[in-house]
Amino acid sequence: MLVRIPQLLSVEQITALRQRLEDAGGDWVDGRATAGTQGVKVKRNQQIAENSQTARELGDMVLTALERNPLFISATLPNRVYPPMFNRYEGGMHFGAHVDNAVRLLPGTGIKFRTDVSATLFLSAPEEYEGGELVMEDTYGAHSAKLSAGDVVVYPSSSLHHVTPVTRGVRLACVFWVQSLVSDDADRSLLFDLDNSIQRLTTDSPQHPSLVRLTNVYHNLLRRWVQV
């Protein structure tokens, strides 16, 4: 399931975040520092060091916004969110076709983290750079995303995906992963559609007698599928 989450961050937040990234200086490192065996062969970008104060503070800003976003909660049903990472592409940098590691270690904890949902938060406006499309593949073909600054796209971590070369300008983005309460993408998609239908019915016909029954179905499906 591929979902666009518009305006996770405001214009003011994006401006402040980008200023911090521009001032980061030595916090920028080779993106291959966090790549797996497969990714290190095709990853060509820069990223803010995971253990830096910049990464922690900006990551907290993103996590706070995620906690307050109903669409993100509904689409991903988060159990844990991996600390956001910030990257930069310019001068032909790209990230070739790869699949995200199924399991990651939470930095500094030794705790294993299953990646169910991948997410990219775009920090540069589309007109600021050429190339840099995030291309995701599923059974229906390839889907390209180059969203407005502040928008997020979430998609199954099992998807083969790549970032096309940036041939002009600079592409700034934030990436993170979600360990969902519901690990199966098809089950999450069903729950997402059901939740959206309940929300629309609540708006259009708040006294409709089916609302209680549909909500009951939603939560009982959660009880069947949730892993905690």
Report residue 179 as tokens: 């360990």
148-201: pLDDT as tens digits: 999 999 999 999 999 999 999 999 999 999 999 999 999 999 999 999 999 999
- The fraction of the chain above a pLDDT of 70, given in percent, is 100
47-80: pLDDT as tens digits: 999 999 999 999 999 999 999 999 999 999 999 9
Contact (CB, 8 A) for 146 and 44: no
Dist. CA 4–CA 178, nearest whole Å: 15
CB atoms within 10 A of CB 115: 20
List domains and CATH numbers for the chain. Answer: 3-180 (2.60.120.620), 185-225 (4.10.860)
Binding residues for Fe cation: 98, 100, 161
Give the per-residue pLDDT at 164. Answer: 98
Give the per-residue pLDDT at 114. Answer: 97
Dist. CA 11–CA 23, nearest whole Å: 19
Which of 165, 169, 154, 171 minimizes the C-alpha distance to 78? 154
Binding residues: 98, 100, 161, 171
Name residue, tokens 């599928």: 225
CB atoms within 10 A of CB 39: 17
Global pTM?
0.94
Average pLDDT, the chain: 96
Binding residues for 2-oxoglutarate: 171
